Chains A and B, each alone.
Chain A
């Protein structure tokens, strides 16, 4: 799980699947404001899909504490597979 680029690439695929939009390109700075359909309901779906992709679980505090994709990336880098 060393390569941040690989993780970002896989993460981008998850975003595209969840929001059904092949044009999405996420960066560490991407926030919910940048993606039209990213509301609190889709956030739940997104969290579940990311957990499945990387074989890990977010902690409760992390789910609400993430400010952007970069925060998510950090947690995945630490615990993801």
Chain B
């Protein structure tokens, strides 16, 4: 459920938690696992339990909860009540914090006193974990401590061992050492999270005075999401694969249209640096055992060329699988899962295009809203998709392992519901003869479109105006809007009228609307326009270039007949207008008046 995925709206979750719970229960997919979770708090936990339930359920974990009486965490951990013993927790979350310190340093204390206090505090937590582990064999999730919101000695509170900031910082490091030394105990990094959320807001004391909450209640979702990420990782429900789109995700620009040399990546501009840092982050994910794959609508050779960009941080060899073709991404991800022998739910797609994300989500894959390039790292990182609770030697070798397995398998699959997806986009097209207002855009599009371009003829604005005004030409532009927004003018056709024939001098389409059926809608309108000028036949030309291989057989797919093939690879195709009876456009509403 998108409302429960990062980046989420905390206020919305707090307000609508009842409705969200109901909606989760109504979902058809049954949760994968059930877990008994005890929340032992040093402050109020009522809404914390309820919101944690939502996030866990969204991670596929149906949780049953035990909630201890107010501030009874220590007693429960050391001498469990009958209720807790009967509950037999599988996971215990010790929700503690600064309000639960048993010792605080003060300027009149000696260094020894403070060291003793630190030892005793740490030992108190270790005792609780060992008791819980021994009695229940459960996993323990332990909060560390948020920094204090006031500093008696000012900045020096961070430097002087008698200062609380210094003490809490050391306590957190000691706690971390003990967590590392105890198997089955995991950190919930409240110290980090409270800094992310803003310490002043986080520690607003009114929520303690009024309700005995250790934090501002508006951050309860943030806290619960953090704990839920750890718990789902402990339960083995992490993602395993990051599948990456390329154009405008891994670099700025379209490699097939712009050419490798014109991609935005490297150190030269602000955007180039942002893409470079993101590539570096992506590459570093391999170090925690995440598999990287490519899932991109591109010619494979263009994809590889982009990944070999000398200014980039990743190289083709960093990817376990490279799926660069023109099939729907959902289909490529299904194949990726099959070839790697993984469930589709273990794959995450990073893609700048919201329409692509929507379709793969509908097929059970994760695809976070990654925002703009400067957001990519934060969104992927904070989503906790690859939350690492322990790192083994195997994790580091995983990329090689899977690469070998993948070579053995070459599975194919078909995605059945593509047309349903297209319908869900609620597409509306406006297709009409050229208008003065679009002349500039039409010339620009003709100047830079390389891939879906049958003849790759470049025309200037005055050329376009000439075609628009001349009786000897039929012209069409196509605008396409869908529920995500208006794509603007994305296609154009220029046909030269010669007696009863219309020769298609130019037909191009922007790659951002590939596989939408826009070409079929354009053909329907072209047929009508040709009929209106008294023609009975269309003549189409394919002139090969280094970049337009994807439309080599385009006219054949539309039902044209191959008439001529030339030595340079160019072809000529014809279509009698009376042969075009049935529209292939199934999903786009054309020229509908609203």
Does the CB pair A17–B217 fall under 8 Å?
no
Does the CB pair A45–B14 fall under 8 Å?
yes
Does the CB pair A20–B16 fall under 8 Å?
yes
Whether A44 touches B47, Cβ cut-off 8 Å, given contacts A14-B15, A17-B16, is yes
Does the CB pair A52–B217 fall under 8 Å?
no
User: How big is chain B's contact interface, by range?
Assistant: 10 to 19
Query: Nearest chain A CB to B520's CB is how many angstroms away?
Result: 43
Q: Is B267 an interface residue (CB 8 A)?
A: no
Whether A49 touches B217, Cβ cut-off 8 Å, given contacts A41-B47, A64-B210, is no
Does the CB pair A19–B210 fall under 8 Å?
no
User: How big is chain A's contact interface, by range?
Assistant: 10 to 19
Q: Is A18 an interface residue (CB 8 A)?
A: yes
Chain A residues with CB under 8 Å of chain B are 14, 17-20, 37, 41, 44-45, 48-49, 52, 60, 63-64
Main SS class of interface, A: helix
Tell me the complex Cα distance, A18–B217, Å: 15
Give residues of chain B (19-41) contacting chain A, Cβ–Cβ below 8 Å.
19, 22
The interface residues of chain A lying within 8 Å CB-to-CB of B210 are 60, 63-64
Q: How many A-B residue pairs have CB under 8 A?
A: 40
Tell me the complex Cα distance, A14–B16, Å: 9
Chain B residues with CB under 8 Å of chain A are 11, 14-19, 22, 46-47, 206, 209-211, 213, 217-218
Does the CB pair A49–B15 fall under 8 Å?
yes
* 14 A–B contacts from the bound complex (CB under 8 Å): A17-B19, A18-B15, A20-B19, A37-B18, A41-B46, A44-B211, A44-B217, A45-B14, A45-B15, A45-B217, A48-B14, A49-B14, A60-B210, A64-B210
Q: In chain B, what residue has the closest Cβ to A39?
A: B46
Tell me the complex Cα distance, A60–B205, Å: 11
Tell me the complex Cα distance, A48–B11, Å: 8
Query: Nearest chain A CB to B204's CB is how many angstroms away?
Result: 10
The interface residues of chain B lying within 8 Å CB-to-CB of A19 are 18
The interface residues of chain B lying within 8 Å CB-to-CB of A49 are 11, 14-15
Tell me the complex Cα distance, A36–B521, Å: 56
Q: In chain B, what residue has the closest Cβ to A64?
A: B210
Q: In chain B, what residue has the closest Cβ to A50?
A: B15
